[in-house]
Every structure is written in structure tokens, then in C-alpha cells.
Structure 1
Amino acid sequence: MTKLSVNINKIATLRNSRGGNVPNLLQVAKDVQKFGAEGVTIHPRPDERHIRYQDARDLVDVVYTEFNIEGNPMDNFMQLVFECKPTQVTLVPDAVDALTSNAGWDTIKHKGFLQEIIAECKAQGIRTSIFVDPVLEMIEGAKVVGADRIELYTEEFATQYSLGNEKAIIPYTKAAELANELGLGINAGHDLSLDNIEFFKNNIPNLLEVSIGHALIAESLYLGIENVVNMYIRKLQ
């Protein structure tokens, strides 16, 4: 079964819009795990517009499944990761002012930088995943820099699938096949939803984990978060 890690950034966005502590981010993290999710993901950004660095620290004692912290490996972010020691860190090449993640790493151009960061993470006992587009050269580069896993950036698939183009899955399947040959674990995320997750999962061999936030929270407004978490779990079995 592919694991579901729930990204709770949008819960923090809602909380921050009014101040105070409603909704309670820590309680939501507890609840999604109780409902069956096997991981919690956060993606703190430098301006702390949703997840705050203190949230990451507070979640250490709350997440008893897998704790995944995503972000651009700048100094402050890496200090936070080494302090929290999550199960997994996912390295994402976000611009400081990026609204959301919009590209994977060029693992060839940034080879030296990624090798250094990943070595530091491994020394701390933290599993490393790097955000990549479904480009075979980038997958090969991920192996060279020492990553444990890749996270396939799935926005293009989601966009094309919504237009009826099922062939958009082909580059992702080929990327996954290569990753399997190279011994890299496979995660995926970005714009995956109840509409496309089952098709995606069925075409990605040995998909270990998906990280889903925006769609899951939006779907929960109509269907309820406990129900939605379990709908994803059923589709991932």
C-alpha cells in the first residue's frame, strides 16, 4: 500500500488568517493520524505565511507516524530540520517568494550543493527525498547526489489528466521505472486529488508515499476530513 502523508499547510493558513489558534494545527495533526494517515507533512517558508518554525518544533511530540518536513535547504531551514530530526526531509528548490512549489531540482547543475546537504542529513539519521520533474537525467542525478528517495512533481500530470489526457502519466511511469532500477524510493506530490490519485498510483510501480494537502483540505470542506482521509487510503490500497 502507498502511504498517505497529509500536508497541513492549509490548516495553518486558515489559522493565521484570524490569529489565535483556530483551527488547532496540532489537534488536526493528531486527528489525521487517528483517521488513518501514515504521515504528516509541513512545508515552512521563510515568511512563515502558513507553517511557522515553532509549529515544526511543536509537531515533533505530536507526529507518531512519519514526519516529513519540506522546503528549500537554506541555512535557517536546515537548522530547523536538524533540530526537529523528522523521519524525512524533502528538499524543494523554492524561490523565497514562490506561492507554491513549481519546479523540481536540476540535480546535475546543483550536484555539489545537494551532495553536501544530503550528506549532512544522513549524518543526522534523516531520510532524504528530493523534488524532481519526471526527467530521466534528473532521476539519475538524484542517485548520484545520494538521495534516498525522489518526490515526483506531479502538477503537469494533474493538469493534463483533468483535460482527459491519460498519456500524461507516461513520463512519470518511465521515471519511476528508472528510479526502481537505481534503488531510489519513490514519493509523489502536487495537485494530486481524489479525482486522479487512483490512476496515478496504479501506473507508478512501487510508489511508497504521496503527500497531499491543498486538494485534501478543499475536499474535506464538503466531505469531512475523516471521510476524505479514508477515501484516499482506499484508493491507495
Structure 2
Amino acid sequence: MTRLSVNINKIATLRNARGGDIPNVVKAAVDCQRFGAEGITVHPRPDERHIRYQDVRDIKPIITTEFNIEGYPSQSFIDLVLEAKPNQVTLVPDPPDAITSNNGWDTIGQKLLLKEVVKIFKDKGIRTSIFVNADVELVKHAADSGTDRVELYTEPYAVGYPLNKAKALDPFLQAAIAAKEVGLGLNAGHDLNLDNLRYFTENIPWLEEVSIGHALIADALYLGLENTIQMYLKQTKGY
């Protein structure tokens, strides 16, 4: 069944808006784990506008569930990941000024870079995932980097879902099939929510992990964090 990793960046954004340590990001990670999350995801950016590098250092020794660090492989990011030694690193092609991740890697044109970075992490026993668009060729070329998994960028699915869910899903299903054929594990994330998540996971049953932050934390404002995580788990588990 698909694992649910909770991205806690938005909790860090709220803390940083006021300064101080409320809400406490480490406590939030522990609470998400206690409430059933099967992973914790963080995405530190160079300006540390939400998750800070120190947050990564503080969270890693405290949680016992899977820890996934996302980000662009700058030297400072690589150094942080090698220091923290998470279960998984997800490589995302974000420029420094990106508001949020909005595109996958060009796994053809940037293959050499990806190969070099993937090797660095895999040599240290860290599972790697590459953020990609739902494009069969890009998924196939991702395998050449040596990565363990790809993460499908699902915003186009979320946008198309209310209009025609089968049509919205189709390119992601084809990309997922391609990943399976070339031996890549499969993750997904971006704008998945309580409305569209179940259909996605039911139709791609070999999907290993979804990383969800913005929608889940927004839902938690109304529904409570524990209840919200349980609701998302119901979508990923099909009950």
C-alpha cells in the first residue's frame, strides 16, 4: 500500500512568520509520526524561508519513521544530506526563488549532473528519488542516472481531476507503467488532497509513497492534525 509522508514545510512557514519557536517544528514532526504518518518530508531552501537547515539536524535524531529531504543539489544541500543521512533524498530542480516546486527534471539534458549527484548519495546508502513530470521518455531516462525512484509531479493531475479524472490520470498512469518497466520505484506529490488522492492511488496500486504538505496542513486547520492524517491514510489505504 502507498505510504503517506507528511511535508511539514508549512508549519515552519507559520513559525518563521512570527519568529520564535511557535509552532515547534520538531514537535510537529513527532506528532505527525504519532498520529500515523509513515514518513516526514522537509524541503530546505537556500533562503531558509520555511524549513531551516538546523531543523533538519534537529528532526533526524528524534523521529523513527522514514525521513525524506527534498531539494536542489547545491553543494550546501548535498553537505546537509550527507550529514543528516535521511532514508531518502528527493532531487528537485528548483531555482532559489521558486515559491514551490513547479516542474520536474530534464532527465535527458541534465543526465550527467543527476548521475553525479545520485552516486554521491547512493555511495552513502541513501535512497534517491528524482522529481519528474509525467512523461514516459523522461521517466525512462531517469533510470540512466542510477536513481532508485522517481517522484511524479502531480499538479497537472490535480488541476485536471475536477474536469475529467480519467483523462487527468492517463499520463501519470503511462509514466508509472514506464517506471515499473525500467525497474524504478514510484513516488508522487504536489497538490494531492482528500478529493483526488484515492483515485490516484487506486489506479496506480504500485505507487510506493505520496508526499503531501500544503493541502494536508490546510485541512488540519479545520479538522485537526491527528484527524486529518487519519483521513489521508484512509485514502492511501483504500478504506
TM bracket, shorter-chain basis: over 0.9
- Give the % identical residues: 60
In the TM superposition, residue 205 of structure 1 has moved relative to its aligned partner by 3.4
Q: Which residue of 2 aligns with 1:18?
A: 18
Residue 188 of structure 2 corresponds to residue 193 of structure 1: no
Contact 1:216 1:228 in 2 (8 A): yes
Deviation digits for residues 7-54 of structure 1, max 9, x if unmatched? 000000000111111111111100111111110000000000000000
Equivalences for residues 27-176 of structure 1 within 5 A: 27-176=27-176
What is the count of residue pairs matched by the alignment? 237
Q: Distance in 2 between matches of 1:116 and 1:203?
A: 34
Q: Which residue of 2 aligns with 1:220?
A: 220
In the TM superposition, residue 151 of structure 1 has moved relative to its aligned partner by 0.2
Structure 2: 5+ residue stretches without partners: none
Q: Distance in 2 between matches of 1:96 and 1:163?
A: 33
Contact 1:133 1:152 in 2 (8 A): yes
Q: Which residue of 2 aligns with 1:180?
A: 180
Q: Which residue of 2 aligns with 1:2?
A: 2
Q: Distance in 2 between matches of 1:189 and 1:165?
A: 17
TM-score (norm 1): 0.98
Deviation digits for residues 77-123 of structure 1, max 9, x if unmatched? 11000000000000000011000001000101011110000001001
- The 10-residue stretch of structure 1 (150-159 or 164-173) with the greater mean CA deviation from structure 2: 164-173
SS of residue paired to 1:228: helix
Contact 1:176 1:205 in 2 (8 A): no
One-letter code aligned to 1:68: N
Contact 2:35 2:226 in 1 (8 A): yes
Deviation digits for residues 151-203 of structure 1, max 9, x if unmatched? 00000000111334431100000111111111100000000001100011111
Q: Distance in 1 between matches of 2:74 and 2:203?
A: 34
Q: Distance in 2 between matches of 1:56 and 1:166?
A: 38
Q: Distance in 2 between matches of 1:162 and 1:22?
A: 36
SS of residue paired to 2:208: strand
Q: Distance in 2 between matches of 1:128 and 1:28?
A: 25
SS of residue paired to 1:69: strand
Contact 1:151 1:189 in 2 (8 A): yes
Q: Distance in 1 between matches of 2:173 and 2:203?
A: 6
Contact 2:2 2:205 in 1 (8 A): no
SS of residue paired to 2:130: strand
Q: Distance in 2 between matches of 1:79 and 1:63?
A: 21
Q: Distance in 2 between matches of 1:96 and 1:141?
A: 25
TM-score (norm 2): 0.98
In the TM superposition, residue 62 of structure 1 has moved relative to its aligned partner by 1.6
SS of residue paired to 2:194: coil
